[in-house]
Amino acid sequence: MLNIELNIDPIFDFISKEEVNELSRNVAEAHKALVNGSGRGNEYTGWLTLPTDFDKAVISSIIDDANYIGSNSEIMVVVGIGGSYLGARAVIEALSHHFPILMKSRKAPLIVYAGHNISEDYLSDLLDVLNEKDYSLAVISKSGTTTEPAIAFRVLKKHLESKYGKSEAARRIFAITDKSKGALKKLADEEGYKTYVVPDNIGGRYSVLTPVGLLPIAIAGFDIDQLIKGAQAAQQQLLNTASFDENPAALYAAARNALYRNGKTTEILVNYLPSLNYFTEWWKQLYGESEGKENKGIFPAGVGFTTDLHSMGQYIQEGLRNIFETALLVKDVRRELKIPLSDNDLDGLNYIAGKRMQEVNEMAEVGTMLAHLEGGVPNMTIKIPVLNEYHLGELIYFFELACAISGYILKVNPFDQPGVEAYKNNMFALLGKPGFEKQTSEIKKRIGK
């Protein structure tokens, strides 16, 4: 049985149950198209059965490599952008100590990231650290030519070879790329890098349960077997039926689209644990890149409460009423800390002395939802028992399937991203890339140069 509790009841202050139930046929058709492989973008739906299809030999190889890297590296640099790093980072940060860089007792390598921006200062600062630490490198790119990670890899490869020599550097570089083609695959074969495959039938934002996510997660010291088992449990339940009673992913997709049809065009994913901030970033990419097409789609935003109640809280309470919230909640936390009693009670907090901080956080969850409902913001909640690998595996699959169903309800292809190329083409032209001469001339006229 799936360990995800979805509660959509609070939205019925704003829309009727019939408006959600009316989408049951759309959801069933979308679910059937996914299962049968008959929908748009079906060539990229390998993630649907990936948890139960996964090659156990690949898992064993990843675990062996994680142990090898852990034996010779204090730091692992993950080079990638978008889905090539967000899924791994979401899981790693959800499960990690909040201050891993300061923990002397850390057993696994510290995971750091590159290739997700083009900041000269960021990469230079990273090199300062790598000058003083033993490290290895995982570069994740299907083509090997995506600008941001390609630049970072070029710089870091040179640094690694200068520090360790070419042969030792090759043993410290792991390439996750296409199985047979592309610049990175060619380089990996020439240089002798250990490689893992990005499956042809899985796009980047759905790739966290492939070696794209599993290798960094394993290197960080987490149990990828449990992550996959959680996803397997979700797959086995959620692919079996589109019934709202048994498939919370289907119900979530229907509820958010019913709200969208009633003018709620922005969904805010809310979390109450800082460790979930990057899970929100992964969710934003998954839904933004999957749904935002053909001038349609729910805009995915994210906040971390209670922190953002002191910044974005004002807008959510009283701003434009085109928003709804989905709160991602965790029943129990890993640590216990009680609020102490004060002799003078100058801060007036003795009324909660002896309570766990988690209890206060839970009351903040309830109080915030009530306030936002009264302010005209529909709310849903998605709750898991605890943050661990198994439940994160369930949650990842839940959101992936709901996203695909939602995309089909919107009648878009949830597995492509044609709009991403627009900025790239402009950037290439401005940088003078061969073959872009015409665009270069046109852009310079537009910007007055």
Residue 73: inside a domain = yes
Residue 423: inside a domain = no
9-13, 97-101, 365-369, 420-424: range with lowest mean pLDDT: 420-424
326 backbone φψ class: left, alpha, beta (φ>0; ψ -120 to 50): beta
| Mean pLDDT across 417-422 | 76
pLDDT tops 90 at residue 177? yes
Per cent of the chain over pLDDT 90 is: 89
Residues 68 and 198 in one domain: yes
pLDDT tops 90 at residue 366? yes
137 backbone φψ class: left, alpha, beta (φ>0; ψ -120 to 50): beta
What range defines the domain where residue 327 resides?
Answer: 5-40+242-409
Residue 187: inside a domain = yes
Q: Cβ-count burial of 8 within 10 angstroms (0-12 exposed, 13-18 middle, 19+ buried)? A: buried
Structure tokens at 94: 């959800």
Query: From residue 314, how far is each of 304, 310, 320, 368 by CA, in Å?
Result: 14, 8, 11, 12
Residues 200 and 321 in one domain: no
pLDDT tops 80 at residue 120? yes
pLDDT tops 90 at residue 159? yes
Residues 76 and 194 in one domain: yes
pLDDT tops 80 at residue 423? no
Residues 31 and 80 in one domain: no
- 417 or 70, higher pLDDT: 70
| Mean pLDDT across 437-448 | 74
- The whole-angstrom separation of Cα 212 and Cα 233 is 21
| Mean pLDDT across 270-297 | 97
Residue 401: inside a domain = yes
Residues 323 and 189 in one domain: no
pLDDT tops 90 at residue 427? no
- Give me the pLDDT at residue 106, please: 83
- Give me the pLDDT at residue 160, please: 98
Last residue of a domain, one of 227, 262, 293: 227
- Give me the pLDDT at residue 418, please: 85
Total domains, the chain: 2
pLDDT tens, residue by residue, 87-111: 999 999 999 999 988 888 888 999 9
- 385 or 444, higher pLDDT: 385
Residues 108 and 187 in one domain: yes
Residues 63 and 28 in one domain: no
Per cent of the chain over pLDDT 70 is: 98
Last residue of a domain, one of 227, 257, 290: 227
Residues 221 and 300 in one domain: no
Q: Tell me if residue 313 falls in helix, strand or coil.
A: helix
pLDDT band for 425, please (50, 70, 90 cuts). Answer: confident
Q: Residue 273's domain is classified under what CATH number?
A: 3.40.50.10490
Residues 397 and 336 in one domain: yes
Length of the chain as a residue count: 449
- 420 or 50, higher pLDDT: 50
Mean pLDDT, the chain, rounded, equals: 95
Residue 235: inside a domain = no
- The whole-angstrom separation of Cα 374 and Cα 366 is 12
pLDDT tens, residue by residue, 5-50: 999 999 999 999 999 999 999 999 999 999 999 999 999 999 999 9
pLDDT tops 70 at residue 430? no
pLDDT band for 426, please (50, 70, 90 cuts). Answer: confident
Residues 215 and 362 in one domain: no
pLDDT band for 295, please (50, 70, 90 cuts). Answer: very high
Cβ count near 129 (within 10 Å): 15
Residue 144: inside a domain = yes
pLDDT band for 390, please (50, 70, 90 cuts). Answer: very high
Residue 110: inside a domain = yes
Residue 97: inside a domain = yes
**Are 46 and 199 spatial neighbours (Cβ–Cβ below 8 Å)?**
yes
pLDDT tens, residue by residue, 315-359: 999 999 999 999 999 999 999 999 999 999 999 999 999 999 999
Catalytic residues: 289, 310, 424
pLDDT tens, residue by residue, 179-196: 999 999 999 999 999 999
pLDDT band for 144, please (50, 70, 90 cuts). Answer: confident
pTM, two decimals, is 0.95
- Give me the pLDDT at residue 284, please: 98
Residues 29 and 60 in one domain: no
Residues 93 and 26 in one domain: no
Q: How many helices (H) and strands (E) does the chain have?
A: 18, 10
